[in-house]
Amino acid sequence: MLRPSAVKEAAEELRLPVYEVVSLVAEERVEHLRRLRPDVIVVAAFAHLIPPAVLALPDRGCLNVHPSLLPKYRGPSPVAESLLAGDDVTGVTIMLMDEGLDTGPIVNQCSVPIDDSDTTGSLTQSLALLGADLLCSTIEGWVGGEMASRVQDPSMATYSRKVTADAGRLDWSEPAEALWRKVRAYHPWPVCYTTWNGKRLRIHSARPVAATQGAPLGKVVRLGENGRGIGVVAGRGTLLLDSVQLEGKRRVPVEEFARGQSNFIDSVLIS
């Protein structure tokens, strides 16, 4: 979901009134908007469908700032979904809203590459700024009737899944590449985790390496010629750990954690 403050700043730059509301169902909310006689309504980071009564108010409709290249990744968590899929590129769509879930015509789009270091947190921030700029460059032409929209191709549509608190559980039978994508997709929330010594061990950052150990899945091993790397054996490859956080403790580099926990190396983490 886009960071509301960036889009709010863009709206204020355009001298548009900004309202932060929980619901648009109440009749008094609708009546308030009706009295404003808006040319267009812009929606960002609003996790609800807009009622038909509101959609019908502005002459130029309701625009939504959506953090994906629609029709790809409609729904609640497009940023995380793009990372889980291993996409190289994502972007922002300015969409004319209808009564469906992210199904309305596309007004404008802009793409951005995804870096290997990106997480949902960092990518969301980048897309919020991109979305604000795109809104500024779009809205005047749209309201003035100088821009056309195009219908989404429903055959190309995909949907993102709602992220739940337990989505970050790591299954060590999966390939290291897939686990790495999860670590990035579920940061800063809910953060990926495994179990060590009966406690939850969060994995904040990691990366996959091709090294195979012939060891049990989930085993913590030393890697590299100098043995300074610490990884976990996966279904294919090894997940090289960077920073971890034991339940009730602070986040630390994995080397610091291993120095304080002498039985960590060669232990087996539980999915």
Region 168-193: mean pLDDT is 98
Q: Is 167 part of a structural domain of the chain?
A: no
Q: Are residue 202 and residue 148 in the same domain, yes or no?
A: no
- Tell me the CATH number at 200: 3.10.25.10
What average pLDDT score do residues 253-262 get? 95
3-state secondary structure of 241: strand
| Residue 255 domain flag | yes
Of 103, 126, 156, the domain-final residue = 156
Phi, psi of 125 (to 5 degrees): -65, -45
Residue 26 has pLDDT above 90, yes or no: no
Residue 146 sits in the same domain as residue 219: no
Q: Convert the pLDDT of each residue in 73-111 to its tens digit.
A: 999 999 999 999 999 999 999 999 999 999 999 999 999
Q: Which residues contact 133 (CB under 8 A, 6 or more apart)?
A: 10, 110
Give the pLDDT score at 5: 61
Non-local (6+) Cβ contacts of 209 within 8 A are 176, 223, 229, 231, 237, 238, 239, 240
Is 197 found in the same domain as 103?
no
Question: Angle 120-143/4-13 helices, nearest 10 degrees?
Answer: 30
Question: Which CA distances in Å does 85 have to 186, 233, 249?
Answer: 13, 22, 31
pLDDT surpasses 50 at 61: yes
Angstrom distance (rounded) from CA 267 to CA 220? 6
Q: Convert the pLDDT of each residue in 237-255 to its tens digit.
A: 999 999 999 999 999 999 9
**69 plus 140 within the same structural domain:** yes
CA 247 to chain centre: 24
- From residue 195, how far is each of 50, 100, 159, 267 by CA, in Å? 42, 41, 31, 11
Domain that holds residue 186: 176-260
pLDDT band, residue 258 (cuts 50/70/90) = very high
Same domain for 181 and 225? yes
Q: pTM for the whole thing?
A: 0.89
Whether residue 27 is contained in a domain is answered as: yes
**CA of 129: how far to CAs of 14, 69, 138, 169, 218, in Å?**
15, 15, 14, 31, 39
Q: Please tell me the predicted confidence (pLDDT) of residue 228.
A: 76
Whether residue 138 has pLDDT greater than 70? yes
My answer on whether 148 and 201 are in the same domain is: no
The residue that leads in pLDDT, 55 or 7, is 55
Domain membership flag for residue 14: yes
pLDDT given at position 223: 87
Lowest mean pLDDT among 99-108, 133-142, 213-222, 261-270: 213-222
Residue 182 forms part of a structural domain: yes
Q: What is the pLDDT of residue 24?
A: 65
pLDDT computed for residue 176 by the predictor: 97
Mean pLDDT (whole number) for 164-184:
97
pLDDT at 20: 64
Same domain membership, residue 131 and residue 57: yes
Say if residue 1's pLDDT is above 50: no
Within 45-202, residue ranges assigned H as helices are 52-55, 78-84, 120-143, 176-185
Within a domain: 168: no
Same domain for 79 and 131, yes or no, is yes
Domain contains 151: yes
Q: Please state the rounded mean pLDDT for residues 31-50.
A: 86
* Domain identity same for 109 and 238: no
127/223 same-domain check: no
CA separation for the pair 7, 10 (Å, rounded): 5
Q: Looking at residue 224, what is its pLDDT? A: 74
Contact (CB, 8 A) for 220 and 264: yes
The full length of the chain comes to: 271
For residues 3 and 124, the answer to whether their CB atoms sit within 8 Å is yes
Would 271 be classed as within a structural domain?
Answer: no
Same domain assignment for residues 146 and 59: yes
Among the candidates 128, 156, 184, a domain finishes at 156
Indicate whether 200 and 250 sit together in one domain. yes
Domain count, the chain: 2
What CATH number does residue 89 fall under?
3.40.50.170
